[in-house]
Structure 1
Amino acid sequence: MSELLVWKSRNNRRPLLLLGARQTGKTWLSEQFGEAEYSKVARIDFLRDNQAKRIFDGNFDTERLLMEIGIQTGVNITPGDTLIILDEVQECSRALTSLKYFCEDASEYHVIATGSYMGIAMHDGESYPVGKVDTMRLYPLSFLEFLRNSGDGPLAEMIASQGAGTVSGAFEERLKRQLKMYMFVGGMPAIVAEYEQSKNLREIRRLQQGILDDYDNDFSKHAPPRLLERLRQVWASLPAQLSKENRKFVYGVVRPGARARQFEECLQWLCDYGIAYRIPCVSAIRTPLKSYAQPETFKMFCFDTGLLGALSKVDAATVIDGSAIFTEFKGAMTEQYVCQQLMVQHLTPYYWAKENSRTEVDFVIETHNTVMPVEVKAELNLKAKSLKSAVERFGLQRSIRTSLAGYRDEGWVTNIPLWAIGSINSMV
């Protein structure tokens, strides 16, 4: 909401694309913003209103568009005090194109377009409004946001503003318990709301499976038919791909004998859709990391721990059984969790693997004009042989290890508890 307020106040404001996977709260957020900050809201839902698509069949004269949107919604649209919401804009590619003309010819009007699979609209023959839109991406709730919704707002604020080193040991077990639940529940808004209301883990899993079914239906509806079977195979392979035994995405895990050229487009489709992240390997831990990325070597992560657990059939009993959830399929659930927290902080994670060696650093990030390797450990394990090797090889001053152990600064490495990795920028 605070980012939307900044967008509203800009003198050079452009139409806003509010992006995110299905059920991350795009419609809810845009409507809440409209009700709180504007006198009127004119909203079109292209999923439900096929008639509204015809408004954009003609020319892109903004006066005509504004008049017809007003007629369709029953709202007298006036500049400055009316928010125009074009919901599920991927269903009407010409509405996406119209944002270019709202930017150029009617910038005094406030327009938000929401989309779940914007990548599809980019490739269907219509012009994407490059340079004519502002963008904002919604993610599942972070762990700190989960805490705020679970009645532990003061703890979340302490971690976010002051770092893990200020949190008393008296609260560590409480944070670990909450983290275990987050690993199972994940951060999808409706799932978190159900958890807060019922605490019924079976119902949580049922709802998560429902979201997965919705995604599968979207695959059938929007993916090119030639990709559909392979797309489902890639999506289903994510739990196996995240095994620590795989130092990169292995096409043979998807299907025996598979080759990159057969699945590359499927991988990009999942990333465009917003439900998977592609994390490249870098050949060196040096700035800028992008210059050392090896596009052909990468890992794929799901965008939500809860949905990954549902996809891999992690049983609810795993949450209760000690720290088992952190070690599921060789600790990959913990890596998934860390990746998710880095993405929410607008950090771009990479990873590093030494050629012809088992030495590997789980993530590498660039923050505060420096590069920082991040080693992920399940449970209380503090061994960091690969991390030490990377620090020495590239002459790094600092590194991060994250585990269930408490905060400690050892000079060359800082151990940040897993429950605090979501505020990494305040601690490095």
Structure 2
Amino acid sequence: MKRWSMRQLEAWKENPRRKPLLLLGARQVGKTWLMQEFGRIHYKNVVYVRFDKDESMRQTFEQDYDVPRLLDALHVRSKVRIEPGETLVILDEIQECPSALTALKYFCEEARDLHIIAAGSLLGVAEHTGTGFPVGKVDRVYLYPMSFTEFLDATGNAVYVELIWRRDWQMMKLFHTKLVELLRTYYYVGGMPEAVAAYAENRDVVMVRQIQLALLEDYRNDFRKHASKEETHLISQIWKSLPSQLSREDKRFIASAVEPGCRAAKLRGPIRWLEDAGLIQLIPRVFRPEIPLQAYTDAAFKMFFLDVGLLAAKCEMDADVLLEGNNIFMQYKGALTEQYVQQQLCAECGMSPYYWSAEKAQAEVDFLISHARRVIPIEVKAERNLQAKSLRSFCKRYSCKLALRVSMSGYEVSEVRISDGPSCPGGHVYSILDIPLYSISSAPVALAEMISKERD
């Protein structure tokens, strides 16, 4: 397998001002494999410590933060000489040794020339639970489940990755049926590396589902093991409510859907725990689409799952749906499609999406992004029907000049003219960039090209 996050690790390695690196992400997204593969490719040797299985190293780090002593202990334990630039020190499952997490601060201050990378499944939780987190003393990379293009590469379809990255719309049109078929499969398999590997090896969707269900059970066990007793019940109830939250027409998170009569304030702690564990992503609502978007959010939000395949498993979606044409894209009122787009915007495009809705939810734009100092609305369509009343309403109301629409249709750039009226004196013209769902990773460059042409 290849992970595109390898490029971020390579950039970290070459940065002369590097700090110890924290690799963040949910359980089983591939952090250990990525660190070890990075070490294998780019370093002469690797020192690997896994704190959940090495009691002696836990005790070593719990004694004090004497950096020379810690380096000597790592050398003796691994029988590897630690050389700056030549050795990668990997501290895995570091959440099991809070003292090792704190020690990263001292490595940063006293051994900046060493290349140290740490990872753990619940580091986000540790940051907010009183652990001595090395704030300001570490660099960070967040690892998501495998994106659609990573899935294509892993399953022997790298040729289509090149088409998407080159934005070869003509060739994509020729292979549209095949790309849609692969996207259907990705909705089912998702991006968890173990599930992708099982599918890549033998195309066994039954095994894929078994792996997904086991992962979901592991996450439930984490609630019981790592969350407080007071929060465990509500965390489980939020987790249980996710499919129903996402399958409504209005996907805004509703506290009473977790438990009848439940207030949002009661759920803040449990929601934060799930977010810190990397199991959910919150997309805030923007009441005024201006830059910076974060400054114009209110209390409303949508809650998304960490992976489209795990969401399909949690919804108990049967593998037969893979044989039923494109119905999968519209399942659960388009929930899987919106989940897919959100996942790719974060993992592949490196974007932080928001959403917008009008008063009384009369109109809603699925996502808003900030790109090239502009606010770009994104409309997600799970079918070929390209009617976009909410998008039109948004562009008219805020004089938006460019919008993105992703759907089952092909690439097209069109101009929309809104006639003069009381709410739009003089009328308004805006452009819509239409791209296929499977090419969402090309959106940042495609949008930048359109903006550049406007300026020319």
Q: TM-score, normalised by structure 2?
A: 0.91
Deviation at 1:51, TM superposition (A): 2.3
Aligned position for 1:9: 14
Equivalent residue letter for 1:293:
T
Aligned position for 2:421: none
* Aligned mate of 2:342, from 314, 335, 339: 339
Indicate whether 1:92 and 2:97 are aligned: yes
Equivalent residue letter for 2:236:
R
* Aligned mate of 1:264, from 257, 261, 268: 268
Once the two structures are superposed, what CA deviation does each residue of 1:206-228 show, in whole Å capped at 9, x if it has no partner? 11001111111111111111111
Instruction: Give me the whole-angstrom Cα distance separating, in 1, the residues matched to 2:440 and 2:410.
Output: 12
Equivalent residue letter for 1:317:
D
* Aligned mate of 1:233, from 230, 233, 237: 237
Match of 2:63, SS? coil
Match of 2:229, SS? coil
Instruction: Give me the whole-angstrom Cα distance separating, in 2, the residues matched to 1:352 and 1:37.
Output: 44
Match of 1:208, SS? helix
Deviation at 1:73, TM superposition (A): 2.4
* Aligned mate of 2:277, from 273, 278, 283: 273
Aligned position for 2:205: 201
Indicate whether 1:408 and 2:427 are aligned: no
Aligned position for 1:151: 156
- The higher relative CO (CA closer than 8 Å, separation ≥ 6) is in 1
Instruction: Give me the whole-angstrom Cα distance separating, in 2, the residues matched to 1:28 and 1:145.
Output: 15
Equivalent residue letter for 2:395:
V
Q: Is the Cα contact below 8 Å between 1:194 and 1:204 reproduced in 2?
A: yes
Instruction: Give me the whole-angstrom Cα distance separating, in 2, the residues matched to 1:47 and 1:57.
Output: 14
Aligned position for 1:382: 386
Instruction: Give me the whole-angstrom Cα distance separating, in 1, the residues matched to 2:361 and 2:54.
Output: 56
| CA distance 1:168–1:346, change in 2 (3 Å) | closer
Match of 1:356, SS? helix
Equivalent residue letter for 1:104:
E
Once the two structures are superposed, what CA deviation does each residue of 1:229-252 show, in whole Å capped at 9, x if it has no partner? 110110111111112433410011
Instruction: Give me the whole-angstrom Cα distance separating, in 1, the residues matched to 2:437 and 2:148.
Output: 10
Aligned position for 2:117: 112
Equivalent residue letter for 1:311:
K
Q: Is the Cα contact below 8 Å between 1:400 and 1:414 reproduced in 2?
A: yes
Equivalent residue letter for 1:275:
L
Deviation at 1:358, TM superposition (A): 2.1
Structure 1 vs Structure 2 CA RMSD = 1.2
Equivalent residue letter for 1:358:
Q
Aligned pairs for 1:8-407 (under 5 A) are: 8-160=13-165, 162-163=166-167, 165-294=169-298, 296-344=299-347, 345-407=349-411
Match of 2:345, SS? helix
Aligned position for 1:426: 445
Deviation at 1:164, TM superposition (A): 5.4
**Which segments of 5 or more consecutive residues in structure 1 lack a partner in the other structure?**
none
Equivalent residue letter for 1:304:
D
Match of 2:80, SS? coil
Deviation at 1:124, TM superposition (A): 3.6
Deviation at 1:56, TM superposition (A): 1.3
Instruction: Give me the whole-angstrom Cα distance separating, in 1, the residues matched to 2:59 and 2:172.
Output: 60
Q: Is the Cα contact below 8 Å between 2:192 and 2:307 reproduced in 1?
A: yes
Instruction: Give me the whole-angstrom Cα distance separating, in 2, the residues matched to 1:219 and 1:34.
Output: 32
Instruction: Give me the whole-angstrom Cα distance separating, in 1, the residues matched to 2:130 and 2:335.
Output: 39
Deviation at 1:336, TM superposition (A): 0.3
Q: Is the Cα contact below 8 Å between 2:21 and 2:116 reproduced in 1?
A: yes
Match of 2:360, SS? coil
Q: TM-score, normalised by structure 1?
A: 0.97
Instruction: Give me the whole-angstrom Cα distance separating, in 1, the residues matched to 2:89 and 2:51.
Output: 13
Instruction: Give me the whole-angstrom Cα distance separating, in 1, the residues matched to 2:109 and 2:325.
Output: 58
Q: Is the Cα contact below 8 Å between 1:164 and 1:417 reproduced in 2?
A: no
* Range with greater deviation from structure 2 (142-151 or 179-188): 142-151
Q: Is the Cα contact below 8 Å between 1:244 and 1:331 reproduced in 2?
A: no
Q: Is the Cα contact below 8 Å between 1:39 and 1:82 reproduced in 2?
A: yes
**Which segments of 5 or more consecutive residues in structure 2 lack a partner in the other structure?**
1-5, 416-430, 448-456
Once the two structures are superposed, what CA deviation does each residue of 1:356-389 show, in whole Å capped at 9, x if it has no partner? 2420000001112211000111121101000011
Q: Is the Cα contact below 8 Å between 1:158 and 1:166 reproduced in 2?
A: no
Deviation at 1:325, TM superposition (A): 1.0
Equivalent residue letter for 1:158:
L
Once the two structures are superposed, what CA deviation does each residue of 1:51-107 show, in whole Å capped at 9, x if it has no partner? 211111122111011111222223222222111100011111111111111011111
Instruction: Give me the whole-angstrom Cα distance separating, in 1, the residues matched to 2:441 and 2:151.
Output: 11
Match of 2:378, SS? strand
| CA distance 1:380–1:310, change in 2 (3 Å) | same
Equivalent residue letter for 2:21:
L
Instruction: Give me the whole-angstrom Cα distance separating, in 2, the residues matched to 1:287 and 1:166.
Output: 34
Q: Is the Cα contact below 8 Å between 2:163 and 2:172 reproduced in 1?
A: no
Deviation at 1:328, TM superposition (A): 1.3
Equivalent residue letter for 1:423:
S
Once the two structures are superposed, what CA deviation does each residue of 1:260-285 show, in whole Å capped at 9, x if it has no partner? 12211111111110111000000022
Q: Is the Cα contact below 8 Å between 1:252 and 1:259 reproduced in 2?
A: yes
Identity of aligned residues (%): 44
Q: Is the Cα contact below 8 Å between 1:100 and 1:133 reproduced in 2?
A: yes
